[in-house]
Amino acid sequence: MKKLFTYALLANFLLMGMASMAQQAPNKIFKDKQLVTISKQSLQDKIKGGWAGQTIGVTFGGPYEFKFLGSMIQDYQKLEWPENAFQHYFDKEPGLYDDIYMDLSFVDVIEKYGVEAPIDSFANAFANAAYPLWHANQVGRYNILHGIKAPASGYWKNNPHADDIDFQIEADFAGLMNPGMSSTASKLCNKVGHIMNYGDGWYGGVYIANLYTQAFVSNDINFVVTAALKSIPSQSTYYQCISDVIKWHQQFPKDWKRTWFEVQKKWTNDLACSEGVFKPFDISSRVNSAYVIMGLLYGNGDFGQTMEIAIRAGQDADCNPSSAAGILGAIIGYDKIPNYWKKNLYQIENRDFVYTNISLNKMYQLGYKHALQSIVKNGGSVQDNTVSIIYQAPVPVPLEQSFVGLTPSIRKWSGWANLPFKDSFSYAFNGDGIAVTNAMSDEWNANTDYEFKVEVDLDGEKEIVLLPYNFKKRKTELFAKYQLKEGPHQLILTLLNPSTIGNILISDIVVYSNKKDN
């Protein structure tokens, strides 16, 4: 009996060795369908680390969001980490946590209807949620509410913000519930990510999700970053940008600022986002993903340094450290996140995120539950103390490219709120595309479902555009059209139902042309 007990102990020891093999062998190469066994404790710890890391990262970066555009935060500026940071934002600025509560919208759908829920379930939950949205999310919501269903709602011809960061900050759940299972995570991203994004914007979410899948099987950051990139087609500009960051890190391993400058020189050429064309503002998924990867690679596993680099790179300086800290948190696990960064996290772990009925503690439980379900569904198994995962090697998702051949030519600034549109407006231009941005007077205070109707006449072809007055439902571009025949065009806008409720404000006009003399 004692001998059998000894054998049992030995077998258990070997099993636990296999369980931690992925974390202890940084150079291990995993094969598709290879059995990877990890402990339940490690699985739970990594899921908690992923969700807690996101929350810490966005809280740390909150004060710097889009304060540094095309400029890094210099070393002499200390990044503050106040004692009451979590409680402050939960009480005073809960909208900071859009990185989290957007994820939770989709988690809630999975909890109610399962991962096989149709795309409309995810799209309708997203479109009818109470939270405000911006950029690709906002256009995606408008499209869904006006009959353009997913995935068409995220397609670049219907969504001028298709390459923006939106799905990138919302895809964490897809990776955290699919440990080591790249194809399953990518499949879920295909369903959810095309609600609001396409092309590079979609790839940002696919890549982030795949970084999480690899975080469960390796503690080697270089492996995680490079293995996950195999989920992106190499022909895409997104892949090329991230591949460049990896290459520049190898060339300049101790100088993240040199890599930052290389990214600025080669990849900061936003084409379609109405706030970024001809401006230093850059909310593209491609560039902000580059900053995430810079944080991970140059942070060298140091939790604070990883976040700090992602913040100091600028632009979306709360979402980027949130992604980087979430991924690193999943790699090292919740227990190994330094207490300095977790201090006072307990104060809000039982508090629901705004617009949800889910707290961090509840998400830790849901994440673990969904991960176990996915492991079994994909051929793995659950034992008393361990789980066995059928590893899915990352393979490229289909190639998508937005705004092909698009070249910004002119931006006409009307001045914010300087051009109320009360009757009709005409604009002649030479080129092959145009985008007209708009806003509403006093839109943030408008609790109304009123929609303006605008007749758009482009070269004699007419359509009616509906413009909700309420910011939560509004359309960011009054009109956008690409791939026109290069040459002269006439745009005429006619307001069909003016109202005393307020005014439409035409903000800017961006013209596209491939002729250098236009």
Say yes or no: 423 and 380 in one domain. no
DSSP, residue by residue, 124-174: HHHHT-SS---HHHHHHHHHHHTT--TTGGGSTTT-TTTTBSGGGGT-HHH
Say yes or no: 316 and 213 in one domain. yes
Note whether residue 15 is domain-resident.
Answer: no
Q: Look at the chain and count its residues.
A: 518
Say yes or no: 317 and 371 in one domain. yes
Q: What's the pLDDT score for residue 27?
A: 52
Say yes or no: 153 and 226 in one domain. yes
Q: What's the pLDDT score for residue 122?
A: 98
Say yes or no: 372 and 486 in one domain. no
Closest to 58 (Cα-Cα) out of 12, 103, 93, 96: 96
Last residue within a domain, chosen from 356, 390, 424: 390
What is the full per-residue pLDDT of the chain (518 aa) written as tens digits?
A: 333 333 333 334 333 344 333 443 445 678 999 999 999 999 999 999 999 999 999 999 999 999 999 999 999 999 999 999 999 999 999 999 999 999 999 999 999 999 999 999 999 999 999 999 999 999 999 999 999 999 999 999 999 999 999 999 999 999 999 999 999 999 999 999 999 999 999 999 999 999 999 999 999 999 999 999 999 999 999 999 999 999 999 999 999 999 999 999 999 988 999 899 999 999 999 999 999 999 999 999 999 999 999 999 999 999 999 999 999 999 999 999 999 999 899 999 999 999 999 999 999 999 999 999 999 999 999 999 999 999 999 999 999 999 999 999 999 875 544 567 888 999 999 999 999 998 888 766 667 889 999 999 999 999 999 999 998 998 989 999 999 999 999 999 999 999 888 888 888 999 999 987 66
Note whether residue 22 is domain-resident.
Answer: no
- 213 and 36 Cβ atoms separated by less than 8 Å: no
- 325 and 296 Cβ atoms separated by less than 8 Å: no
Residues with Cβ within 8 Å of 76's Cβ and at least 6 positions away in sequence, in order, are none
Note whether residue 403 is domain-resident.
Answer: no
Sole residue written with tokens 């909208």: 95
Say yes or no: 193 and 60 in one domain. yes
Say yes or no: 364 and 427 in one domain. no
Q: What's the pLDDT score for residue 443?
A: 65
Sole residue written with tokens 């809280």: 59
pTM of model > 0.85: yes
Say yes or no: 223 and 347 in one domain. yes
Q: What's the pLDDT score for residue 515?
A: 85
Amino acid identity of residue 232, one-letter, is: I
Number of Cβ atoms within 10 Å of the Cβ of 116: 9
Domain harbouring 428, CATH code: 2.60.120.260
Say yes or no: 235 and 324 in one domain. yes
Domain harbouring 135, CATH code: 1.10.4080.10
Note whether residue 395 is domain-resident.
Answer: no
Q: Which domain holds residue 426?
A: 408-512
End-to-end CA distance of the chain: 89
Last residue within a domain, chosen from 363, 390, 417: 390
Rounded Cα distance, 267 and 274, in Å: 17
Say yes or no: 141 and 238 in one domain. yes
Note whether residue 385 is domain-resident.
Answer: yes
* Domains in the chain, number: 2
Note whether residue 287 is domain-resident.
Answer: yes
Please report which helix (H) or strand (E) contains residue 413, including its range: strand 408-413
- Whether the bond between 151 and the residue before it is cis, its omega within 30 degrees of 0, is yes
Note whether residue 193 is domain-resident.
Answer: yes
Last residue within a domain, chosen from 334, 359, 390: 390
Say yes or no: 338 and 431 in one domain. no
Tokens of 243: 């591949």
Sole residue written with tokens 């989920």: 231
Say yes or no: 329 and 458 in one domain. no
Note whether residue 518 is domain-resident.
Answer: no
